[in-house]
Structure 1
């Protein structure tokens, strides 16, 4: 093996060649007849002149409608949907959302994610039940 070949393979050996792309999409995986949906978490954005106001949300959302997610607080995850809506998933008590920075998995039984029934699973093994969904409506800050 030449030195040039070794240098070219060094990132792969160190594990940095597999870094995730900046624009990652929601992926559906089938593992032993079980459907898993991997949802990437986007980093928090800079402060904007918008304020998100919570309204009554749906009981369930279609898993195919999820475009991504962002962490919005210590016990909540905001789902970004393809129709440009945001739905906040409030997690059970004592379940910090901090474990979901690297993304998370959903395991829907019927292609829907439902509050009180489904859980989100972190990539490091933790699991949190979704307590309820709240629809988010943008308002200009005053």
Structure 2
């Protein structure tokens, strides 16, 4: 009788192991639901003592969705995308964007394989969204 009880608890124990925060991978997750692609992108924490100042220059109209590796919170009206080649692109939101909680990660639903300004939006886990107004290329410069 004890053996039967133990076997019933095995799925529960495996479920608890799978829910531990350290076991979850921090990478871009791609989910396809009825021909609709949804990307979940994890948030990377900011460094405590930034030694690099990021200078904004003119950015592209679109970026490849597959190149996005991480997102950094850079302000209430913007987030920074870190690409696979370590380039940084700042997505600035339109003015009527509410201050959203992006701490748990962001979601993108690109219409094709690109994320484009004035077309696509960044979604938070609580359901709000902000349309990307424009992209700015970020270039590193050492602080003096």
Query: Structure 2 length normalisation: TM-score?
Result: 0.84
Structure 1 partner of 2:73: 71
1:41 matched to 2:64: no
In 1, Cα distance between equivalents of 2:45 and 2:143: 21
In 1, Cα distance between equivalents of 2:23 and 2:83: 20
| C-alpha RMSD over aligned residues | 2.4
Moved beyond 6 Å, runs of 4+: none
**Deviation at residue 46 of structure 1 after TM alignment:** 1.6
Greater C-alpha radius of gyration: 2
Aligned length: 137
Residues 46-101 of structure 1 deviation map (CA, whole Å, 9 limit, x = unaligned): 22221000000000000011011110111110000001100000011242454111
Structure 2 partner of 1:101: 103
In 2, Cα distance between equivalents of 1:97 and 1:115: 19
Distance 1:24 1:113, change over 3 A: same
Distance 1:23 1:136, change over 3 A: farther
Structure 1 partner of 2:55: 53
For 1:83, what is the secondary structure of its paired residue? coil
1:111 matched to 2:122: no
Moved more, 56-65 or 32-41: 32-41
Query: Structure 1 length normalisation: TM-score?
Result: 0.85
